Amino acid sequence: MTRRSWAEPWKIKMVEPITMTTRAHREQALQAAGYNSFLLQSDDVYIDLLTDSGTSAMSDHMWAGLMEGDEAYAGSRSFRHLCEAVEEVYGYPETIPTHQGRGAEHIMSQVLISPGDSVPGNMYFTTTRFHQEYAGGRFVDVIVDEAHQPSSTHPFKGNVDLAKLQALIDEVGADKIPYVSAETNVNMAGGQPMSMANLRDLYALCSRHGILVMLDATRALENAWFIKQREPGYENKSVREIVLEICSYSDGATVSSKKDNLVNIGGFMAVRDPEIARKARALLVAFEGLQTYGGMAGRDMEALSRGIREMVASDDHVRARIGQVEYLGNLLIGGGVPIVLPIGGHGVFVDAGAVLSHIPQDEFPAQALTAAVYLDSGVRGMERGIVSAGRDATTGENHRPKLELMRLAIPRRVYTQSHMDVVAESIIEVYRQREQIRGLRFTYEPPALRFFQARFEPV
């Protein structure tokens, strides 16, 4: 058989120059940033894998939408287009627009959670858990155990463990659980999917107990691709059909549109129940904006409505997107670097706990590894370990996540295969010299969501 390569279903129309930095320059920049990659200036970064959030390249069709945005304060045509796209692709009839994902999480948490409630979820996301706790709720992790084991190759590490959920229902009672917060393609687990069977069973269990299922559908498209690859019966379905079916097993969702939806800013909450939507809109006008823009400009909503349709227009987009992540992941595996398996949807997660086993978790191995990689090559990743996990809201003790990871999140349609080669070469080199990396300690620790603004120094 002759080899038949495939490549991205797009070509490049415009380029943005990036800075090539020197090691001396990076040493200075890293110190100025307090060893926190969030505090680096982007001008000091060569290849930016901090996040896949809001960093995607829009298509020419989406850019054209910016020119056609309707900036009316009330009743914007672009909002109507957004509602139509959300209903068509996700299937929810009520759309509440927000400035980004956490705006939607805030509104949903305030509408549905009462103080003393428990909110089970398949692992936490930082801002999601913050808003659940801010509304007086208690987050309870009900993800399958395999999700906490980097080397487990379970095909659906994002699944909810229904026995854990049932135990929680038995313990606190269904009336103390307003909804299950189910994230598609779980970010903190390494971009790991839920199976359709699990979504279906979860919805059935919750429906029996009168508990809602609210998705974090931020990366539902990437989850759909994995279902197509791994779940019998879905190999011949399009990701468009699969996304719609995923959402059919839920009562609503919050979405950060800065990921799957391919825009640089925006988000929404969407539900079936008009009563929940009414309560959400009442809060929306106080916190986000009027119900027909919610913190987005008309042009943002126009681009977003096009991005939502574009992501599912054919399977070729998501295949190339996840194909690039797999390409990088396989290079690292080839270099012997321990990463979270299976390779995730939005990035490669290096097992910093394993790489830097000589650094105790209290000295932030993943933070230290991220700093070392930046120093080596100007590649910027992100800590997803004990710093991100923060402290318990009641005891003040550090959460101690089993996963101590450095995330290399890949923006959509932005970097080439050669960029991925450069990233892999740097990380493999740092891995070879891992014994020389030292741990870090705080010089400043913010009270909440500390990873964004914390500062460190070497121990």
Which residues in this chain contact ligand F0G in the complex, by CB under 6 A? 51, 53, 100-102, 125, 127-128, 183, 187, 216, 218, 256, 258, 267
Distance CA 332, CA 319 (A): 20
Assigned token pair, 329: 């992941």
User: Measured from the CB of residue 131, what is the shortest distance to ligand F0G in angstroms?
Assistant: 10
How many other β-carbons are positioned within 10 Å of the β-carbon of residue 452? Answer: 13
User: Is 125 considered catalytic here?
Assistant: yes
216 is catalytic: yes
Q: Which of 124, 125, 249, 374 is catalytic?
A: 125
Which among 133, 115, 113, 117 has a CA at the least distance from the CA of 125? 133
Residue 376 known to be catalytic? no
Asked if residue 414 lies in contact with residue 426, where contact means CB atoms within 8 angstroms, the answer is no
Active-site entry in 23, 73, 432, 443: 73
270: β partners: 95, 253
CB 345 within 8 A of CB 223: yes
Active-site residue, 92 included: no
The nearest distance, CB 181 to ligand F0G, in angstroms, is 10
Helices (H) and strands (E) in the chain, counts: 16, 14
Minimum separation from the CB atom of position 148 to ligand F0G (A): 17
How many whole angstroms separate alpha carbon 74 and alpha carbon 57?
29
Compute the least distance from the CB of residue 213 to ligand F0G, in Å. 16
Please pick, among 259, 299, 380, 434, the residue that the annotation labels catalytic. 259
Task: Between 188 and 440, name the residue whose CB sits nearer to ligand F0G.
Answer: 188
- For residue 341, the minimal CB distance to ligand F0G (Å) is 20
CB of 5 to ligand F0G, least distance (A): 30
What is the token pair recorded at 321? Answer: 């997107």
Indicate the DSSP class of residue 433: T
Could you count the other beta carbons within 10 Å of the beta carbon of residue 311? 25
Specify the residue, 187 or 426, whose C-beta has the smaller distance to ligand F0G.
187
Q: Is 128 considered catalytic here?
A: no
Task: Let me know if 259 is a catalytic residue.
Answer: yes
Helix ranges restricted to H, 239-385: 239-248, 274-287, 298-311, 315-334, 352-355, 365-377
Query: Using CA atoms, how far apart are residues 321 and 344, in angstroms rounded to an integer?
Result: 11
Would you say 216 or 315 has its CB closer to ligand F0G? 216
Closest to ligand F0G by CB, 359 or 382: 382
In the complex, the smallest distance separating the C-beta of residue 198 from ligand F0G, rounded to whole angstroms, is 17
d(CA 197, CA 152): 20
Which residue's C-beta sits nearest to ligand F0G?
101
SS3 of residue 127 by DSSP: helix
Q: What's the closest the beta carbon of residue 284 comes to ligand F0G, in angstroms?
A: 15
Handedness of CA 225, 229, 233, 237 (dihedral sign): positive
Residue 316 CA from chain centroid, whole number: 21
What three-state secondary structure class fits 172?
A: helix
With a CB cutoff of 8 Å and minimum separation 6, the contacts of 312 are 89, 221, 238, 239, 240, 243
Query: Which of 44, 383 has the CB closer to ligand F0G?
Result: 383
- Please give the angle made by the CA atoms of 248, 251 and 253, to the nearest 5 degrees: 90
For ligand F0G, which is the closer residue by CB, 157 or 434?
Answer: 157
Q: Which helix (H) or strand (E) holds 456?
A: strand 455-458
Q: Which of 216, 251, 260, 351 is catalytic?
A: 216
Q: Is 451 a catalytic residue?
A: yes
Which residue, 89 or 169, is less far from ligand F0G as judged by CB?
89
Q: CB 395 → ligand F0G: shortest distance, Å?
A: 25
Is the four-CA dihedral 324, 315, 384, 195 of positive or negative sign? negative
CA atoms in the 13 A half-sphere facing the CB of 358: 8
Residues annotated as part of the active site: 73, 125-126, 216, 259, 384, 451
